[in-house]
């Protein structure tokens, strides 16, 4: 062998073999789970094929919020140029709640970070206490027990929770059928209360009739004494006029100022609730009012005003000079003797059984209201009505 040939053999060493990588196809039922390879998220979601997988043993798992994968993970021994498929069955153990929309969900007193509607999964089988928190609203009951079944999602009935505003603002409007700008007041009240944030569970209004410029206003004449009592209480000198929780609005036709005043009033939580029911089908129209205290409240110097209004009245031709033919929340009658109030203890309820001493002729369109008003400052603290409301904030029939 020559030196030259030896050099050739020395320079001709063997090369390490190379192999094409393998692939892993990952599927799940249901799809949409994040694929995790060897403990690292791949950025892909099922179903997907992962390419360029080096030969060797790898661990595959998937993650979908509130779902449990079966198997929990899958080992895959990748061979050169091998193609593999891994399937995961995803199951849930928990509950689904659909109402009231927007409420924060707690389980056993611990926030879940979710809001209704939502599925809360990953829970152990057994009984859990579900509670809701909703800013500005009282949610009852304080908690609702749900039985969790392994591998299933329990539906929480829509009727499980009731929601009501912690504060309902009251607006006194004053108008006359021959007051030329008065229809604009009615229009503004309807525009405002049509907005979700000013829905009837948070804002109620009623229009009283003044005796000018037309003394023959039919709504004034229908109850001249009690209409007069109301506008004399506020010393109303012109129409239209508007009071938000007993406080006069500088410009009754300024819709933006009205909304701002109502927002400010809604932020004042009085610590008690007013509930009203009335039987418009019975002679004398019996009405029941209850005041329920969430905290100690001193209502000394306050009076309970109880009345009812007609939701809508249409008169054609127009009864006055302003051409208005459709009227809303028109005052009809109040309880003759308005009860004086005093301290309320947290957790206590005070009941009042009263009557309007009149007969209704359009019961389906009547709504009874009650509010607590301070007799000196005229500030109105809380309002309730007989109009039924649903378990969703912002929903009420009238």
The pLDDT value recorded for residue 19 is 65
Residues 6+ apart with CB under 8 A from 390: 396
Which of 145, 166, 142 shows the shortest CA–CA distance to 157? 145
Residue reference for tokens 């009864």: 319
pLDDT of residue 124: 86
Q: Is 183 helix (H, G, I), strand (E, B) or coil?
A: helix
Q: What are phi and psi of 186, to 5 degrees?
A: -60, -45
What architecture (CATH level 2) is domain 94-162? Answer: Sandwich (2.60)
Q: Alpha-carbon distance 116 to 144, whole Å?
A: 15
Is the dihedral angle over the CA atoms 187, 369, 211, 357 positive or is it negative?
A: positive
CB of 297 within 8 A of CB of 343?
yes
Q: What is the reported pLDDT for 397?
A: 40
Q: State which H helix or E strand residue 255 sits in.
A: helix 255-266
75 strand-pairing partners: 59
β-strand 326-334 against 110-115: which pairing, if any?
A: unpaired
CA 282 → CA 93, 259, 298, 306, 374, distances in Å?
52, 38, 34, 17, 31
Q: Give the Cα separation of 360 and 280 in Å (integer).
A: 6
Helix, strand or coil, per DSSP, at residue 351: strand
Could you check whether 94-162 and 169-385 share the same CATH topology? Answer: yes
Beginning with the edge strand found earlier in the chain, give each strand of the sheet holding 326-334 in spatial order. Answer: 247-248, 241-244, 169-175, 203-209, 326-334, 302-314, 366-374, 380-385
DSSP 72: S
Hey, what CATH topology would domain 18-91 get? Immunoglobulin-like (2.60.40)
Q: How far apart are CA 195 and CA 393, in angstroms?
A: 12
Q: In what order do the strands lie in the sheet with 34-37?
A: 40-45, 34-37, 56-63, 74-78
Q: By the 8 A CB rule, do 338 and 355 touch?
A: no
- Is 295:346 a contact under the CB 8 Å cutoff? yes
Give, for 192, the enclosing helix (H) or strand (E). Answer: helix 182-193
For the chain, 398 residues long, give each residue's pLDDT as a single digit of tens.
444 444 444 445 555 555 689 999 999 999 999 999 999 999 999 999 999 999 999 999 999 988 889 999 999 999 999 999 999 999 889 999 999 999 999 999 999 999 999 999 988 899 999 999 998 899 999 999 999 998 899 999 999 999 999 999 999 999 999 999 999 999 999 999 999 999 889 999 999 999 999 999 999 999 999 999 999 999 999 999 999 999 999 999 999 999 999 999 999 999 999 999 999 999 999 999 999 999 999 999 999 999 999 999 999 999 999 999 999 999 999 999 999 999 999 999 999 999 998 877 777 899 999 999 999 999 999 999 998 754 345 444 44
Show Cβ contacts of residue 15 under 8 Å, excluding neighbours closer than 6 positions. Answer: none
CATH for 169-385 is: 2.60.40.10
Q: Are 84 and 25 in contact (CB under 8 A)?
A: yes
The full set of domain ranges for the chain reads: 18-91, 94-162, 169-385
CB contact set of 210 (below 8 Å; sequence gap of 6+)? 174, 175, 176, 179, 217, 220, 227, 231, 236, 239, 241
Signed CA dihedral, 181, 182, 183, 184: sign only = positive
Look up residue 224 and give its DSSP letter: H
């Amino acid at each position: 062998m020559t030196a030259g040939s030896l050099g050739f053999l020395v320079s001709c060493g063997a090369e390490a073999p190379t192999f094409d990588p393998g692939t892993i196809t990952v599927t799940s039922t249901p799809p949409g789970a994040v694929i995790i390879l060897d403990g690292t998220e791949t950025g892909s979601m099922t179903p997907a094929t992962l390419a360029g997988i080096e030969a060797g043993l790898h661990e595959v798992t998937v993650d979908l919020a509130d779902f449990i994968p079966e198997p929990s993970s899958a080992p895959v021994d990748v061979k050169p140029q091998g193609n593999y498929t891994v399937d995961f069955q995803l199951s849930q153990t928990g509950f689904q709640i659909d109402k009231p929309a927007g409420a924060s969900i707690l389980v056993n007193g611990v926030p879940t970070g979710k809001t209704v509607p939502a599925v809360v999964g990953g829970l152990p089988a057994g009984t859990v206490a579900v509670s809701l928190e909703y800013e500005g609203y009282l949610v009852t009951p304080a908690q609702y027990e749900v039985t969790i079944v392994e591998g299933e999602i329990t539906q929480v009935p829509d009727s499980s929770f009731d929601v009501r505003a912690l504060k309902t603002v009251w607006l006194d409007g004053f108008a006359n059928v021959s007051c030329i700008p008065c229809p604009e007041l009615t229009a503004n009240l309807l525009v405002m209360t049509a907005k979700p944030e000013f829905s009837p569970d948070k804002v109620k209004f009623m229009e009283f009739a003044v005796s000018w410029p037309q003394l023959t206003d039919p709504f004034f004449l229908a109850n001249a004494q009690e209409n007069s009592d109301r506008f004399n209480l506020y010393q109303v000198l012109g129409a239209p006029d508007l009071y938000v929780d007993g406080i006069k609005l500088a410009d009754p036709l300024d819709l933006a100022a009205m909304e701002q005043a109502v927002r400010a009033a809604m932020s004042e939580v009085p610590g008690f609730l007013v509930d009203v029911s009335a039987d418009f089908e019975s002679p004398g129209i019996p009405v029941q009012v209850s005041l329920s205290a969430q905290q100690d409240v001193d209502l000394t110097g306050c009076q309970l005003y109880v009345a009812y209004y007609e939701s809508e009245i249409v008169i054609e031709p127009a009864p006055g000079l302003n051409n208005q033919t459709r009227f809303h929340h028109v005052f009809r009658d109040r309880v003759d003797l308005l009860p004086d109030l005093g301290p309320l203890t947290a957790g206590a309820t005070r009941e009042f059984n009263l009557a309007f001493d009149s007969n209704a002729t359009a019961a389906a369109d009547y709504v009874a209201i009650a509010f607590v008003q301070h007799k000196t400052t005229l500030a109105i603290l809380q309002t309730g009505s007989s109009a039924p409301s649903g378990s969703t904030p912002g929903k009420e029939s009238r």
